[in-house]
Amino acid sequence: MVIKVGIVGYGTIGKRVADAVRKMDDMELVGAVKQNPDYEGEVAVSKGIRLYTYEDKVGKFEKAGIKVSGTINELLRSIDVVIDATPDGVGAENKAKLYEPMKLKAIFQGGEEAEVAEVSFNALANYDMAVGKRFVRVVSCNTTALSRLISAFLIHGYRIRRVRAYIVRRGADPREFKKGPINDVVFNPATVPSHHGPDVMTVIPSVNIITMAVAVPTTMMHLHMVNVEFDGQISRGEAIKVLEETPRILLFNASSKKFESLAQVIEWARDIGRPRGDVFENAVIEDSITASQNELFLMQGVHQESIVVPENIDAVRAMMGLTDKWSSIRKTDEVLGLITTNKNYALA
C-alpha cells in the first residue's frame, strides 16, 4: 500500500518533509503547495516536485516562470493525507476551511495549538495513540527533543519523578533574515513555566516538567540544560547506556572527539553528507552527563530545522495503520540516514 501525501507549506519544515516522503517506498509525494514564487519553488520544480498554489496566485507563478501543476483544491482531492507545514495558526484555518469539509486526514506542526488535533505526537512516546486518527499534531522541535529524552528512560523502565529543563533558543532560523541582526537575550517567554513544559505534557501527560527559556542571537541550534529526578538511583554509566541504545539520540564527546560547540555538530552533519547539514537526532553532549544519587544532569543540542522530519513520516504511517511503532521508526531512520549503530529497535 502506497500512501498519497500532499504538503501545504514549502518552507523550512515543508521542504525537508517533502524530500523525506519522496525517499519512502510506502509513500508518494503527489505535490506541495507554495504561496509565493521564489528560489525554493524553482528548486522544487527542478527536483521533479509538482508545485500547487492558491487560485489567485497562479498568475504570479506563471509570471515568475515557475510551473505549477494546479491549485491547492486539486491537490487535496488527489491525496490520502496532508502534511500542513504552514506558519503558526494557518494550519488551524486550513483545517476548518479545507481539510474538514473535504474529509481529509491531516498532520499539523508544533506551532499550532494542541486542540487542532486529536493527538500531539512523538514517535518514541506515543506512536500507538495516533493509529487510525484523522488529525495529528507533530509537536515542536524543543518538545520533540524533550519527549524523546524522557521517553528513552521510560521505555527502559525508569520511573521519573520530575524534569526541569532550561532552554537556550536560537534567535531565528538561518533563512529568516528579517529577524536580524540581533544583539540581545530575549525572555522567551518571560513566564515560568515556558510553553514547552505544558506542551511535553500533551504527549506524556504523566510527567512532571517545568521549563524556562531564553532566545539568543544565533541561528545554529537550540541548547537544553536538563535535570531529571528519578524514583531510585541512577548512575552515569546507566544513563549513557540508555541513551546509546535509544533511536534518534546521539552522544557527542567533547574531550575525546573535540565536539566543543553546536556549530561543530552542524559541521559534522555536513561532513558526513547529511542534506542541508541536518541533524535529525537529539545531540546529547556526553561529557555533560552527570549523575548524583537519583538525579541526572545533561545538555543536548536541538536542530530546529530538521528534528521533526522523522516524526512527520512516522505520523503518516500511524494514521494510515501501515505498520507498528518500532518497524516504522527503524524504516524511517534507515531511509533518512540516521545513525542506527547500537540502537535497539525492539524496545518494549
| 154/158 Cα distance (integer angstroms) | 5
- The 3-state DSSP class for residue 220 equals coil
* Bridge partner list, 230: 160
Q: Is 226 a catalytic residue?
A: no
- Report the run of H or E that residue 300 belongs to, with start and end: strand 295-302
- The 3-state DSSP class for residue 293 equals coil
Of 27, 48, 35, 148, nearest to 84 by C-alpha is: 35
- The alpha carbon of residue 169 and the mean position of all alpha carbons in its chain are separated, in whole angstroms, by 15
Of 210, 209, 171, nearest to 188 by C-alpha is: 171
**Annotated catalytic residue, options 119, 125, 141, 251:** 141
Residue type, 102: M
**In degrees rounded to 5, what are phi and psi of residue 81?**
-150, 145
Grid cell in block for residue 12: 523550512
110, 136 contact by CB (below 8 A):
no
What is the dihedral angle through the alpha carbons of 303, 320, 83, 189, rounded to the nearest 10 degrees?
-50
| 47/49 Cα distance (integer angstroms) | 6
308, 138 contact by CB (below 8 A):
yes
Contacts of residue 195, Cβ cutoff 8 Å, sequence gap at least 6 = 189
| 58/81 Cα distance (integer angstroms) | 23
Q: Is 305 left (phi over 0), alpha (psi -120 to 50) or beta?
A: alpha
Annotated catalytic residues are: 141
